Structure 1
Amino acid sequence: MGRGYEDRSGAAASLLLDDQLCFALYAAQRAVTAAYRPLLAELGLTYPQYLTMLVLWERGEIPVKELGAALRLDYGTVSPLLKRLEAAGLVRRERSAADERSVRLVLTEEGEAMRERAEAVPAQLLVSTGLEGAEIARLRADLHRLADAAARATPE
């Protein structure tokens, strides 16, 4: 087991790289993002742009602040992402008539039309992983639970 330490429960914990949850998550995230890359290249999207489009296809127009919260990204990360989507003609930003400080994101016709082409992406990724639908559903639920637990454990 190599050099270890004890966690809060008193159980021995390893300091080996392959025993770390963070490394398993990091490696999985990189591999999944790489698997998406050729699928999204056909749409002309990067992975973060795809996630943004997923939120818009699901919710329609949305305040930029809510988009950032949905993606768990800060404004400094969201803003350049939106500029690129705007330049590609997929979205437009509009000031709220009710509150000039609020900016909402709206799909263009081109952005809406891309949805149909993107509908095959989730199934194609599933095939490329070799995992079954039930396995993916369990894994996704476990990862959401982990993300929520980690967020609760993180001081603001």
Structure 2
Amino acid sequence: MVGERHMELPVSEDLLDLDRQVCFPLYAASNLLGRLYRPLLAELGLTYPQYLVLLVLWRETPQSVGSLGGLLHLDSGTLTPLLKRMELAGLVSRTRDVTDERRVLIALTPKGRDLREPARVLPAALSAQLAIADADVTELRDLVRELVAVLQATLSERR
């Protein structure tokens, strides 16, 4: 498990060397993947965060704003404006939960639902651009998921 691994460095090693940071390659990979996704998503009129919201809603709609935020690891200050833009674009609807007026539910509109079919090509289109074996991608994804779980647990312990 990621949380159980401990890197022991000699005292003489510079812990602030960029090449020693775990965060930097993850940050760089995220930025570079975003740049690869951008032209593919532009054809659908989407940004990457909008695509992530749609991925969740294509699986199950409606979702509460809180649920979306939890699944996507986005705070309400980031998610609320994103959802408002998606509503203005006609991709989602926002309504108050009749059982709890404090909750806002996000549901796909027909336009948002209809984007699922053309979006099906995105994973294969992105994969075709990467010179990395599918098994390696799967292994990397699983390891990063494990890291996300450890980070989430660490943050939860601080609350």
**TM exceeds 0.5?**
yes
Cα–Cα, structure 1 residues 119 and 10, in superposed 2: closer, same or farther, change >3 Å?
closer
Deviation at 1:19, TM superposition (A): 2.4
State the match for 2:104 in structure 1: 103
Deviation at 1:153, TM superposition (A): 2.7
Alignment of 1:63-74 (within 5 A): 63-74=64-75
| Greater RCO, 1 or 2 (C-alpha within 8 Å, sep 6+) | 2
State the match for 2:59 in structure 1: 58
How many correspondences in the alignment? 149
Unaligned runs of 5+ in 1: 1-7
- Secondary structure of the 2:100 match is coil
Q: Distance in 2 between matches of 1:44 and 1:95?
A: 27
Deviation at 1:10, TM superposition (A): 4.6
- Secondary structure of the 1:100 match is strand
- The TM-score normalised by the length of structure 2 is 0.88
State the match for 1:87 in structure 2: 88
Deviation at 1:30, TM superposition (A): 0.7
Residues 126 and 132 in structure 1, CA contact (< 8 A), matched pair in contact too:
no
Cα–Cα, structure 1 residues 130 and 69, in superposed 2: closer, same or farther, change >3 Å?
same
Unaligned runs of 5+ in 2: 1-5
Residues 95 and 101 in structure 1, CA contact (< 8 A), matched pair in contact too:
yes
State the match for 2:3 in structure 1: none
- The TM-score normalised by the length of structure 1 is 0.89
1:76-108 CA-partner distances (Å, limit 9, x unpaired) = 110000011001101000111111111100100
1:120-147 CA-partner distances (Å, limit 9, x unpaired) = 1011111111222211110000001111
Q: Percent identity?
A: 45
